[in-house]
Structure 1
């Protein structure tokens, strides 16, 4: 295959970021980069993102795109850091506006924050095609986890974001604002309708002790082995399973710091008069599960 894919696993958050490139042109895209965040000290670091930048620079790649699959609740985005040091356009699905509107209210951000997606360089529509060098990529709207989730198909590979996990872990939760188990099932069916040999690259892995971290499966493997949506599982069965499981899940540890950064395309809040940026933590708003 002409596409080159390099995964980067972040052990602290279980996130898998990707650098994918076109060997013929040296053009590249970065998917879901992580900004390290220590919740106890409030300090950010760029260790995880700098691993990607080292890879990009060592291979003399040119970053065209920094692709976010959605506004993540489990890690802060390093998209702005990647753009600052390697260029590229930060892009996400157009329904990010819906997510921004919800969290603008939660954080009481006021008139200075525009819930119009303008913090991003490009907003994809469903089915929109774009180029990474000579590679043709397609943005796929796959809502359900959130209203704005996107998957990105490049040749025989699909970067699924938080729709599918590895087959032994199943699927993403659907209890975030705007999430919907029925819609997630239908989004996953779009992915599983692709050719069986299509490679699927997940955004997270939380492996059991019985296996190492993994991030690549296939449509065929997911249809045969996925514990939530393998062949034969009906939409009704999936919705019942997903909703029952979601009711037992605690809110992600970093949801409150992460989302106020991620709806800003990875930019920290504007420094105040003393030169310090502050994150806002709304009290007694989130329930025991997200």
Structure 2
């Protein structure tokens, strides 16, 4: 997607049209140390079959470019796609990283699925991170911002001049994330976005999804702090917290649950692993009826 300048990462984006998700491979040009952000495990709801085609494309790119994979970074526990982090950890040994408040998401959703194997302490992940922490990436650092609102566990990763915001912000012509999941908050979302938009204006911003709004013919995933402050349809400069919250909550009320929320969350609170096999050796994803 975007070539690096002297002191910035190279960012390569991979788009999953089935879930409108952008996954990123980010590397330090000087050392070729890399991280993968928000990988997708392909899943067909028609027959409950999974595939690693999208994840294998990431591995092929890493091998082709001669990269060393240091980190598997999750911006949050996704409700619209299954994570491939567990598979990629098996293939590479790279640790899975997520915000420490994943424990709140596990506490909310493990009982819904009767997931007795999920201890809500984040231990399914290799590293839980907090606001202000840094992870090394060659000569660069991965800085962590806690940016709740969409979920309580959402984080933004700052790498050089690039910010990876997950679902907190979308492209300026599409707006912002919903905030009606358990632990979500339009007020917290407003504060998180204002924190992101206080970054330097030239900061490159990479979003987690694009839904191709009317008036645009091509998918897009890269914008900037300056563009968001000027043009975001929900929260450009000058929009008050009260106005944003009223608009965001009105929009939330019109939204259906994501199509893959039930399979996604029971996998993603397990760091991308499937539930334990039953006595017959088969693995099942549960669909709690009338529970959402």
Q: TM-score, normalised by structure 2?
A: 0.96
Kept in 2: contact 1:70–1:96 (CA 8 A): yes
Matched, 1:121 2:126: yes
Q: CA RMSD in A?
A: 0.9
Kept in 1: contact 2:41–2:81 (CA 8 A): yes
Matched, 1:74 2:110: no
3-state SS in 2 of match to 1:211? coil
Question: Where does residue 248 of structure 1 map in the other structure?
Answer: 254
Gaps of 5+ in 2: none
Per-residue deviation, residues 12-40 of structure 1 (Å, max 9, x unmatched):
00000000011221210000000000011
Report the Cα distance in structure 2 between the residues aligned to 1:280 and 1:82, rounded to whole angstroms.
Answer: 24
3-state SS in 1 of match to 2:123? coil
Aligned counterparts, 1:1-290, within 5 A: 1=5, 2-110=8-116, 112-209=117-214, 210-286=216-292
Report the Cα distance in structure 1 between the residues aligned to 2:213 and 2:286, rounded to whole angstroms.
Answer: 34
Q: TM-score, normalised by structure 1?
A: 0.97
Per-residue deviation, residues 78-103 of structure 1 (Å, max 9, x unmatched):
00111112221100000000000000
Report the Cα distance in structure 1 between the residues aligned to 2:10 and 2:28, rounded to whole angstroms.
Answer: 6
Report the Cα distance in structure 2 between the residues aligned to 1:193 and 1:136, rounded to whole angstroms.
Answer: 19
Which of structure 1's runs of 4+ aligned residues deviate more than 3 A? none
Displacement after TM superposition at 1:54 (Å): 0.6
Report the Cα distance in structure 1 between the residues aligned to 2:110 and 2:59, rounded to whole angstroms.
Answer: 31
Report the Cα distance in structure 1 between the residues aligned to 2:213 and 2:196, rounded to whole angstroms.
Answer: 25
Report the Cα distance in structure 2 between the residues aligned to 1:283 and 1:94, rounded to whole angstroms.
Answer: 30
Which deviates more from structure 2 when the two are superposed, residues 229-238 or residues 270-279?
A: 270-279
Gaps of 5+ in 1: none
3-state SS in 1 of match to 2:275? coil
Displacement after TM superposition at 1:231 (Å): 0.8
3-state SS in 2 of match to 1:52? helix
- Aligned residue pairs total 285
Displacement after TM superposition at 1:149 (Å): 0.2
